Amino acid sequence: MKPQYWFRWFSVQGLPRLVLRSQARRGHPFAQLMGGRQGFTDPYPLIEQLRAQGRLVKTPIAWASADHELVRAILRDNRFGVRANKNLDLPGPLVRLVERFPLPPNPVEPPSMLVIDPPEHTRMRRPVAAAFTPRAVARLRDRVESVTEELLEELPSGGSADLITAFAAQVPIAIISEMLGFPREDKQMFLNWGDAATPLLDIGISRRAHRTALDAMEVMNDYLDGHIERLRREPGENILSSLVTAGELDTYGLKATASLLMGAGFETTVNLIGNGVVQLLSHPDQLERLRAEPELWPNAVEEVLRIDAPVQTTARSALEDVEIAGIPLRKGNTVVVSLAGANRDPKVFEDPARFDVGRANAKDHLTFSSGVHVCLGASLARMEATYALRALFERFPDMRLAGAPRRRELFTLHGYERLPVRLGRSVRAPQATVV
């Protein structure tokens, strides 16, 4: 590992890792949630322990909340922002050390929209937003349908498959690759880069995972240099070509934006589709209801987003001294907001641990965040998942699990690494309709 990368790992990941592990051994639910195996296998009991401690809880490395009202308020409050190195209350000398050693362009470093505040955030977001308007997403519907049908044709009738690698990952990577003008034959590279880089969204990752992620980002950085140069010579009909020709972003900004769109446009939807398959196979009564009332499919996707959020958490830092829930926070204090916890707040959702595809207020979840940082691609993810899930279950009505699904060893991005199923017979069902 390059010396500057080691310093970054030690400052941003290594020290929090030591603190979290120490506190986890003492039984602190937040530390167990963020730094232990249960945090990615079954985080919800730990979230409920955290909720029981109060609406806003002081933890070993930050404040935390799983309260729906409070989480939503913080996300929408312009007195909070994302300007913090890894959103932790790091000592000043460590902050300056981190800033001395920037990483290659990536989703978790400025100028990525994920980690900058207005007005810079507004400048970076504006040219990208046009690709995710309702009209723009509607134009992608035909491609989502054709990609899904092609993948379903390749699944073996009467056979078995890992639905993550054979289906859930393939739908969003095909769409986002086309949106960025990437050749289809490069899809596997993007999948590999995503698997390597996504641990950077977590807190307290190992030095090995950090090194693997940075190696992947350096390779991706070189690839994007060449790709952007090709688009300058021969722009196509895709969002990255539009950004290149508009000239509003420099090359570094273009690469940061492309890497964010790759990650956000792919990882969230993979997890959403995989989580949806497991929920429906684990609740056959709900699947039967969808077969009887197919108009509920869009709401079923909202319920999956609520009950098993593909993005579990985010964080905000106070940009000034502020009082929240009667507790004074100082400028620079960080609040880790549990989106998954807010989605199961019993004050908002009746019987919140119950999976109910007909839940009237399922869409009140906060999985896609809120405020200025609300997810740009939320409508695209909803559309992809709604069509993919409905088409999958209509094509393979006898599908069942063929073993225990295996979770990814990640906390922030919550999904499955492996999802083995027996597909059963393939039938030609009426074509699904995205509502």
Residue 432, in any domain of the structure:
no
CATH number at residue 175: 1.10.630.10
pLDDT score recorded for residue 2: 64
Domain count of the chain? Answer: 1
Cβ contacts of 410 within 8 Å, gap of 6 or more: 40, 198, 199, 201, 202
- Given pLDDT bands bounded at 50, 70 and 90, which one contains residue 87? very low
- Given pLDDT bands bounded at 50, 70 and 90, which one contains residue 98? low
Q: Is the pLDDT of residue 376 over 70?
A: yes
- Given pLDDT bands bounded at 50, 70 and 90, which one contains residue 4? low
The model's pLDDT over 262-283, given as tens digits with 9 standing for 90+, comes to: 887 788 999 999 999 999 999 9
Q: Is the pLDDT of residue 86 over 50?
A: no
Least confident of 70-84, 361-375, 379-393: 70-84
Q: In this predicted model, which residue has the larger pLDDT, 194 or 221?
A: 221
Residue 208, in any domain of the structure:
yes
- Name which of 417, 110, 112 is nearest 261 in CA terms: 112
How far is it, in rounded angstroms, from Cα 248 to Cα 259? 17
Q: In this predicted model, which residue has the larger pLDDT, 92 or 288?
A: 288
Q: In this predicted model, which residue has the larger pLDDT, 144 or 432?
A: 144
Residue 429, in any domain of the structure:
no
pLDDT score recorded for residue 18: 87
| Whole-angstrom Cα Rg for the chain | 21
How far is it, in rounded angstroms, from Cα 45 to Cα 208? 29
pLDDT score recorded for residue 96: 61
Residue 23, in any domain of the structure:
yes
DSSP 317: E
Mean pLDDT score, 143-157: 95
Q: Is the pLDDT of residue 128 over 50?
A: yes
pLDDT score recorded for residue 121: 92
Order of strands across the sheet that contains 63-65: 57-58, 63-65, 334-338, 313-318, 80-81
Q: Is the pLDDT of residue 382 over 90?
A: yes
Sign of CA dihedral 38, 40, 46, 48: negative
Average pLDDT over all residues of the chain: 89
Residue 132, in any domain of the structure:
yes
pLDDT score recorded for residue 273: 98
Instruction: State pTM to two decimals.
Output: 0.92
Q: Is the pLDDT of residue 85 over 50?
A: no
- Given pLDDT bands bounded at 50, 70 and 90, which one contains residue 201? confident
Q: Is the pLDDT of residue 135 over 60?
A: yes
Assess contact for 396 and 423: CB atoms under 8 A. yes
How many Cβ atoms are within 10 Å of 21's Cβ, its own excluded? 14
**Domain span at 151:** 3-422
